[in-house]
Structures are given as C-alpha cells and as structure tokens.
C-alpha cells in the first residue's frame, strides 16, 4: 500500500508490526545526543504499534540482539564509533537487516577529507582544505606549520575534527593566534584536523531519505544562529532559528536538493543522510559535511524537515519496514 505525502512522492507504508532494535549511546563524545535520538525514534515506533528494544553498545549488545531477533536494527550512534562502518560491519556479520548505510559508504562519508575528495570527483564543489595529524605539529613546529597553512588557504579558516559531528571541536579562526587555539580545541576530539577555507553564505542542511524507491530530498532547512553553529547552538533551544523550507527561490531550493542527492549517490549512502551546505552569494552550493546517521532529537534537522514534508511517523514507519542493508 502507498500513501502520498505533501511532496507528492509515493512512500511505501506497511501496517505489519515489527520488532525493531535501536542502538543508541556508545562511548563517543556524542553519547547524550545519540541517546536522545534513540529514545525519540523509539517513542514514535512504539506509538505505531511496533515492539522496540533500545540497546546501548557494550559487551551485552550482541547477545541481546540475538535473543531479541529483530526484524530490523536501527543504529543511531553518532560520531566516529557509530558512523565509521565498524558497527555496521558487526550487524552485517550478524546477518541482521538495518536502517542506514552499508559499511563501505559509512567509511567514505565518515572521514571528512575522504568525503570531500569523493564528492569533488562527483562534480560537487567544496572548499579547499588541508588535513594534518597532531604529530606534525611537534615534528615540524606548530608556528611554522600554521603559518604555511594560513598562507596557503588564506584566512579565515574553519578547523574541525576529521571525524565526528554535532559541531564538537569546530572553530572559526580569523588569525594565526585563533588558528592555534582552534587546533588545540580540535585535537581534543580527534588526532587529525581538517583546516578548511571559510566560505561565507547561507547555511543550509538538506536531508535525504530512501525508503526503497530511491533517494529523495526533504525540504532544505536554513540555519540562522547567534554566533557559530556549534554543539550548544544545535542542541539547546534558543541559540538557533530554523526556516523550513529555506528562504530561497524555487530554483535555488531545487539546486541545493539536487546537490544533496548527488552527494548521497556519489558516496553510496543508504536510508538516510544529511548534507550541510553553504550557499554563496552567486548561488553556488558548497559541500561542507555529510552525516550518515543524522540526529533525531527534538532540535535535529531531519525530523524538522520531515514534519514539514508530511508525516514524520509515516517516514519512520517506512524506514523501519524498508532497511536498505540486507546482509
């Protein structure tokens, strides 16, 4: 059976109740966000009549999954330990279908430098950047290295961990002193830093979902925040304002949606992704980052876009019934 949402796309709908195991928590810096995502999705699925088990990731997880025998697993671990393909490989080895992306696509998307190189090869523009391990700063000298990087990329630059999300460890540096501090903040979360040329413009997040009929883009979300769109701005109400759909003309809305779909396809992603873009004054969408396990909290952007698109419960139901990874 199918139903038509406001976007006129046909979304598979199945009324059969399922046994769904949600993996949330883990040991990353984004543990709390992951738990909030897991409980939000579980609440929706339970309301729809599904039997849901929320599992943290620890020594009991594999045994609990085998005992529960889910129809589908929905991994909602954020950050490197949930999005780098390792957990996905375990689920594949367990022969359990899951909502998300195959481990190969996770690996391509999880490392920001790899994702940027891959989408650039697919025709998407992305700011120039340099990726450096922490060890280089002791071997080559921090001052000399930062001076070379600043000269090469120009200032300002954005410094971010090569892996991870939620804005953790991300800083904007306007001068070499700020760049030095940004590197210290970044290395608290990752041994490798991505230093990226800053592109001014409108920040837009485009979620892509695939329930079996191919990827489709949800309404783009425009993000306006007081200061930098960091962890606090993302997850504490009041720091940021969201416009759905983004305040763009129809041509630009279509352009950013198409860009997100190209990113999704080029990286080989699965049920869900969220692509973060900067739209410059010329109307060019610049690829900044992609998440293969988008947040599902009360302030997360995919649920916000899905609610405007049509029915969030219907989308979650369709995703649970149509996991794209079948070992």
State which CATH number among 3.50.50.60, 3.40.50.20, 3.40.50.261, 3.60.60.10 fits the domain covering 2-100.
3.40.50.20
CATH 3.30.1490.20 placement within the chain: 129-197
Q: Are 7 and 309 in contact (CB under 8 A)?
A: yes
The predicted-structure confidence for 186-218, as pLDDT tens digits, reads as follows 998 889 999 999 999 999 999 999 999 999 999
Q: Are 196 and 179 in contact (CB under 8 A)?
A: no
CATH 3.40.50.20 placement within the chain: 2-100
94: left (phi over 0), alpha (psi -120 to 50) or beta: alpha
Q: Are 91 and 75 in contact (CB under 8 A)?
A: yes
pLDDT of 167 reads: 73
pLDDT of 6 reads: 36
Cis peptide before 245 (omega within 30 of 0): yes
User: For residue 24, what are its two tokens?
Assistant: 């949330």
Please, which residues bridge with residue 12 across strands?
Answer: 2
pLDDT of 157 reads: 97
pLDDT of 8 reads: 34
pLDDT below 50 — which residues of the chain?
1-13, 229
The predicted-structure confidence for 237-247, as pLDDT tens digits, reads as follows 566 899 999 99
Tell me the pLDDT of the chain averaged across its residues.
90
Please, which residues bridge with residue 217 across strands?
Answer: 208
Q: Are 126 and 158 in contact (CB under 8 A)?
A: no
User: For residue 27, what are its two tokens?
Assistant: 């040991």
> Residue 158: in which H helix or E strand, if any?
strand 157-161
Tell me the HSE value of 172 on the side-chain side, using a 13 A CA sphere: 9
CATH 3.30.470.20 placement within the chain: 107-124+199-309
Q: Domain 107-124+199-309 class?
A: alpha beta
Please, which residues bridge with residue 294 across strands?
Answer: none
Cβ neighbours around 142 below 10 Å, total: 14
Instruction: Please report which residue ranges of the chain form alpha helices under DSSP H.
Output: 31-47, 61-68, 80-83, 86-93, 103-110, 112-121, 135-140, 142-153, 176-187, 231-235, 250-267, 301-309, 312-321
Residue 261 is classified by DSSP as: H
pLDDT of 265 reads: 98
CATH number of 129-197: 3.30.1490.20
Residue for token pair 């460890």: 169
């Amino acid at each position: 059976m199918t139903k038509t949402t406001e976007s006129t796309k046909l979304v598979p709908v199945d009324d059969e109740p399922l046994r769904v195991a949600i993996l949330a928590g883990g040991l990353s810096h984004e543990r709390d966000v992951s738990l909030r995502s897991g409980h939000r999705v579980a609440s929706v699925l339970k309301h729809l009549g599904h039997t849901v088990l929320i599992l943290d990731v620890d020594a009991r997880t594999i045994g609990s999954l085998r005992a529960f025998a889910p129809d589908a697993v929905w991994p909602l671990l954020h950050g490197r330990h949930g999005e780098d393909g390792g957990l996905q490989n375990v689920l594949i080895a367990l022969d359990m279908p899951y909502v998300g992306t195959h481990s190969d696509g996770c690996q391509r998307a999880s490392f920001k430098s790899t994702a940027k190189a891959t989408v650039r090869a697919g025709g998407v523009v992305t700011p120039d950047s340099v990726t450096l391990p922490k060890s280089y700063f002791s071997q080559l000298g921090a001052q000399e290295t930062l001076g070379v990087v600043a000269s090469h990329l120009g200032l300002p630059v954005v410094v971010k961990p090569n892996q991870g999300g939620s804005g953790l460890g991300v800083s904007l540096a306007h001068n070499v002193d700020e760049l030095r501090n940004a590197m210290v903040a970044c290395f608290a979360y990752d041994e490798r830093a991505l230093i990226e040329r800053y592109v001014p413009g409108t920040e837009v997040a485009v979620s892509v979902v695939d329930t079996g009929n191919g990827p489709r883009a949800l309404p783009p979300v425009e993000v306006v925040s007081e200061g930098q769109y960091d962890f606090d701005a993302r997850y504490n109400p009041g720091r940021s304002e969201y416009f759905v759909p983004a305040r763009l003309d129809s041509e630009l809305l279509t352009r950013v949606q198409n860009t997100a779909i190209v990113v999704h396809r080029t990286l080989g992603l699965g049920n869900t992704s969220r692509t973060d873009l900067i739209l410059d004054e010329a109307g060019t969408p610049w690829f900044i980052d992609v998440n293969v396990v988008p947040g599902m909290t009360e302030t997360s952007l995919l649920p916000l876009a899905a609610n405007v698109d049509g029915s969030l419960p219907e989308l979650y139901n369709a995703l649970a019934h149509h996991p794209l990874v079948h070992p």
